[in-house]
Structure 1
């Protein structure tokens, strides 16, 4: 069976030979579907560097001997330094060119989603978009805050926002003062499947730590332990066998033990087979997965995927099963380059996706002497999402610039 995109039940549409989808077809899907996005680590590149196979290393380094524990703590330190610590730059993006570039890209993406919701023709669909992400960084939150887009991140309360997943069932309306008409407010529902740098656990609850005080505390412990950890400077060094060898004859210092204890308080899903730092995070993770699955089961839903390799077996299985059981679901996977297209596509064998409703959008073959136009988030926004808007509006870049200059530096001190 050839791969096809189904705009509606029983209406197959052949995919394009180059990138995989036309703007007209993309516009139809966006206008007539329940909108869901799944973004992964590739979406936040290159600000967050490739890490190597951290999951494989941490999973292998689970034995109780001292040398293995030191090697494991070193990988955790490497992951923390590369993924959690840079979030402080996102809160103060005007001081860092890389952070500023990432926030601009995310803000442009969020602005397009907001305009799409505002201009929806269908009155049968709510003005909501679900943004699921496995990223623990705060790029989405900062971009949404800068553009003042209504966001539902599952937290309730102002002084000490507490995670309450029931908040995702809330609809927001604006009512006219004189005639009492109501209109739904376009809202981005943000689901942080793997937790967040800004989550802080207290007892059975998770609170929003907007100043990243927990990360700051862990960073202090990390800096104290750093001289005793095995030095990891590049992805190729994230290898369990080599790290055990480098740890031979060494024991963990008290500073390393303190860092491991502090690291365990982070409310993030660890990149390993045994993922959870706490019971409450475990429950939250599976509840968010259930909500993700429920959204994919809705009739005429669409899932757009970017920056996600589908190495997470839970999410791969959920997407595959949903595509097989819900023929009205459209899954559109934006592949960064032609190599990633080949790697991802083989995870979806034809016998498991019989409805032909998973479409892979990839860069076109470059002309001789030209470079491949890789599908970064900025490229996807420019080449695809901005093109679906019926009425073109000026790019919000100038607005984002002003917001970054006037507000981004203040986010870290709120």
Structure 2
């Protein structure tokens, strides 16, 4: 987590809300319940007279974000066992981490790559036996190279959902914009740029401009060079955004012409008829990734845990994430089913490998080094 800058991590994002305009299964069930008709109840009523095979009692507890406890995230598991796991809900990863350290017992949890190393090094996790997840081979190889997944010859993390940060800009005002992070340094954009108030994303931008492979393993000298880039960028920044709605309003009004933002802001602006472009910069997209881990002191049925993980990799689940939530999924086959306008426009339905090429997946940074980066970023924002 960062101080005043921790919303770059999905742990501070509202991850229970599908993309604008989408009617997720969760929302649909809610609306139906309001009319006195529950989808689950209709299904149960239709099959109540049919004999059902005996099923094992569910002995599994999953530590999750709000919204991911919806059955659309694991329909095969419900079909197999006749019920869903028990869920414990957390609001952000630090809360989940501290509860697990205090002895709270669950079988599976859903952190992001920024946190996995810390959880593993604290003895909270056990390795994942990928041979027990039939769909593991359907995860793109490029995703499995993200920092935090592998350590000590073992797999500790199963990718599940992900999303992007990149530059979105007013194409009508900047028709010849260079497709690079360096666009944000253009003197002509003084006072017309906004970037996310995030130390991680700020250093993604700076390290990309300098040609570094990653912002996660910077030397002291490289951090100093990034600092100079951030000072130069600060001259163009109108404000550091924390609320995507405020950013979207400023871009719609033409006050901000270029911004480091999330896919959902692009989607919202397009929906308002604003002529914005989603950039595929030469330095690569910045991508957060979250997924599942197995806890060391898991009290439940390990076989059910593996069945649950495999159910989450179902391409049908991916279609919900992509089309209804605006997120990516870790099964490459999901994109063959996706049909949302955003997925088609971004090329997710045609060539996932091309989309992921050059992606800068985020991972954990050494805590002391990150504290130094936080201090620098806060100083730069104050004009120092």
State the TM-score, normalizing by the size of structure 1: 0.26
State the TM-score, normalizing by the size of structure 2: 0.28
